[in-house]
C-alpha cells in the first residue's frame, strides 16, 4: 500500500479513517479545515494591506522629494489618479 511507503500519505489516510467513522468527527474535521482556511485568508489580506500601505508611504516620500506624479505612479504601482489625490491631500 502506498500509505505505508510515504509518511505524509499515511498520516492523511489515518485522519481520513478517523474522520469518516462518525458524522461528529467528520463535522469537527471540516470545521477545523474551514477555520484554517479562514485564518489563511485573514493573513493574506493583512499582508496585501501592508503592501498597499507601504506603496502609499513610498509615494508620499517621493512626492515630498519632488518626483513627478507619473514617475511616482509607475514606481509604486499606484494609479496616477490615486497619486494625484495623495498629492492634493498632502498640500
Whether the pLDDT of residue 1 is over 70: the answer is no
Structural domain spans, the chain:
2-90
Return the C-alpha cell found at 27.
463535522
pTM of the model: 0.62
Alpha helix positions (H), the chain: 2-5, 7-21, 23-64, 69-76, 80-90
Question: Using CA atoms, how far apart are residues 81 and 88, in angstroms rounded to an integer?
Answer: 11
pLDDT digits (tens, 9 = 90+) for 29-79: 889 999 999 999 999 999 999 999 999 999 999 999 999 999 999 999 999
In sequence order, the 6+-apart residues with CB closer than 8 A to the CB of 26 are 19, 20
Amino acid at each position: 500500500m502506498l500509505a505505508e511507503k510515504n509518511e505524509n500519505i499515511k498520516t492523511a489516510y489515518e485522519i481520513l479513517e478517523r474522520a469518516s467513522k462518525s458524522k461528529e468527527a467528520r463535522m469537527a474535521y471540516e470545521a477545523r479545515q474551514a477555520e484554517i482556511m479562514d485564518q489563511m485568508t485573514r493573513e493574506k489580506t493583512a499582508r496585501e494591506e501592508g503592501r498597499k500601505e507601504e506603496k502609499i508611504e513610498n509615494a508620499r516620500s517621493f512626492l515630498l522629494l519632488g518626483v513627478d506624479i507619473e514617475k511616482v505612479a509607475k514606481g509604486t504601482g499606484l494609479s496616477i489618479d490615486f497619486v494625484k489625490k495623495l498629492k492634493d491631500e498632502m498640500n
